[in-house]
Amino acid sequence: MKSWSSPSVPRLSGSGEPLTVHDTASGGLRTVHPAEQARLYVCGITPYDATHLGHAATYLTFDLVQRVWLDAGLEVRYVQNVTDIDEPLLERAQRDGVHWEDLAEGEIDLFREDMEALRILAPDHYVGAVEGIPDDVHAVQKVVASGAAYRIPVSQEEGAVETDAHDVYLDLSLQPSFGEVSGWTREQMMEVFAERGGDPDREGKRDPLDPLLWRAAREGEPHWPGESLGEGRPGWHIECSTIALQHLGPGFDIQGGGSDLIFPHHEMSAVEAAAVAGPDSFARAYVHQAMVGYEGEKMSKSKGNLVLVSTLRREGVHPMVIRLALLARHYRTPWEWTDADLAGAQQRWETWRAATALIDDALEVGERETRTVQEVRARLAQDLDAPGALAAVDAWASEAVRVGSVSPAVPAAVDALLGVDLAG
């Protein structure tokens, strides 16, 4: 699938520090600084509604991860998926009387536009779930052949399109690593499983938590050839397991997404990857963006309490102001969007722009400026402390306005590390 275009990232003099981030699986801070190439997988959108500020916060967090890696001299390989076939997309298309493919295409286009406007680095591979189906089929067949999966017959009364149709489930009792990503208790898992796409009450399952690997074709639902699995479509989690394994290879550095994906999605993607490719085949670290809320609840497409990036842009809010509003919050702290976030960001943007207007290209980089750049680098490298980095730039901006001239060093660092283009 077509990605979007990345902004260029200026190279700064000197080198940044290795990235330390919070890893959900180990529950602590981890330094993630591979030898040469850093490999990142981030869970992409389900395109049935437009990009809201929660999505934007998530993609911005992983944009910062990449900027820190790049600044520390690493090459980055970045993969993101699009869940362009799934239950919620089909439901919304039905509700609105549109074809699910048209709905997806329109929302993906808008997402690309929003990402470009926010200057979010684009993935090297942007992969649709539908594109990945042949890989899913091979992966599920492999799991079936190994004896780690089981089949539940689907009758024609239940809508099966083919005779001898079966859904396929992973047998979690055979997966010793199950639970290692979230670290959750069974009770915690059961509490959210159904509302997050699981089917605990499906008759015939060995364990209510066993995840669906392949859904046999039903009347009125889109389906694809599944070779020995029969016509059907993949379950949600296997989509990310196979796309990550295919485009990054086993043992990649970070799996990312919002904290709503910790369980079941990231837990199941990891355990399904283990069933396909062996133990330790998935991510080395799991990084999660805290939920952004609005009007007392998690901002979500299903609840409809959305502040859309595209709406703000249409209202004339500068995309860099939106970016600054999001940067002002640490990725691990849940927060709620209010108009004050925008007002604060607007003010910061104006102050930083006023300072940037004082650039004198001939001016040598001052000691204070060097310190500011180092501070921004250090803050971001230590668990992506974007608010701390903003504070360092705030101090520089006030000083710049007082002194009356600045070198281009800090604006260049603001561009490279925070992705904010002050010149544009």
Which residue number, 48 or 150, has a Cβ lying nearer to ligand 5CA?
48
Phi and psi, residue 286, nearest 5°: -120, 120
Shortest separation between residue 43's beta carbon and Zn ion, angstroms:
3
Instruction: Find the length of the chain.
Output: 424
Shortest separation between residue 282's beta carbon and Zn ion, angstroms:
12
Among candidates 385, 409, 381, 371, which has minimal Cα distance to 19?
381
Shortest separation between residue 240's beta carbon and Zn ion, angstroms:
4
Shortest separation between residue 237's beta carbon and Zn ion, angstroms:
7
Shortest separation between residue 57's beta carbon and ligand 5CA, angstroms:
5
Residue 130 contact partner, candidates Zn ion, ligand 5CA, none, CB within 5 to 8 A by sort of partner = none
DSSP, collapsed to helix, strand or coil, labels residue 29 as: strand
Residue 258 contact partner, candidates ligand 5CA, Zn ion, none, CB within 5 to 8 A by sort of partner = ligand 5CA
Shortest separation between residue 285's beta carbon and ligand 5CA, angstroms:
16
Q: Is the peptide bond before 264 cis (omega within 30 degrees of 0)?
A: yes
Residue least distant from Zn ion (Cβ): 43
Which residue number, 218 or 265, has a Cβ lying nearer to Zn ion?
265
Q: Which residues bind ligand 5CA (CB under 6 A)?
A: 43-46, 54-55, 57-58, 81, 83, 240, 257-258, 260-261, 289, 291-292, 298-300
Which residue number, 299 or 416, has a Cβ lying nearer to ligand 5CA?
299
Phi and psi, residue 67, nearest 5°: -65, -35
Residue 275 contact partner, candidates Zn ion, ligand 5CA, none, CB within 5 to 8 A by sort of partner = none
Residue 160 is given by DSSP the state B
399-402: long-range contacts, CB 8 A cutoff, minimum separation 24: 399/368, 400/355, 400/358, 401/351, 401/354, 401/355, 401/358
Which residue number, 46 or 356, has a Cβ lying nearer to ligand 5CA?
46
* Cβ neighbours around 367 below 10 Å, total: 8
Q: Which residues bind Zn ion (CB under 5 A)?
A: 43, 240
Amino acid residing at 276:
V
Which residue number, 16 or 257, has a Cβ lying nearer to ligand 5CA?
257
Distance CA 299, CA 12 (A): 36
Which residue number, 81 or 175, has a Cβ lying nearer to Zn ion?
81
Which residue number, 81 or 281, has a Cβ lying nearer to ligand 5CA?
81
Per-residue tokens: 153: 């017959």
Our separate counts of H helices and E strands in the chain read: 13, 14
Residue 289 contact partner, candidates ligand 5CA, Zn ion, none, CB within 5 to 8 A by sort of partner = ligand 5CA
Beta bridge mates, 41? 79, 255
Residue 189 contact partner, candidates Zn ion, ligand 5CA, none, CB within 5 to 8 A by sort of partner = none
**Chain Cα centroid distance, residue 72:** 22
Which residue number, 53 or 148, has a Cβ lying nearer to ligand 5CA?
53
Residue 369 contact partner, candidates ligand 5CA, Zn ion, none, CB within 5 to 8 A by sort of partner = none
Shortest separation between residue 90's beta carbon and Zn ion, angstroms:
17
CB proximity list for 391: less than 8 A, separation 6 or greater: none
DSSP, collapsed to helix, strand or coil, labels residue 220 as: coil
Shortest separation between residue 332's beta carbon and ligand 5CA, angstroms:
12
DSSP, collapsed to helix, strand or coil, labels residue 72 as: coil
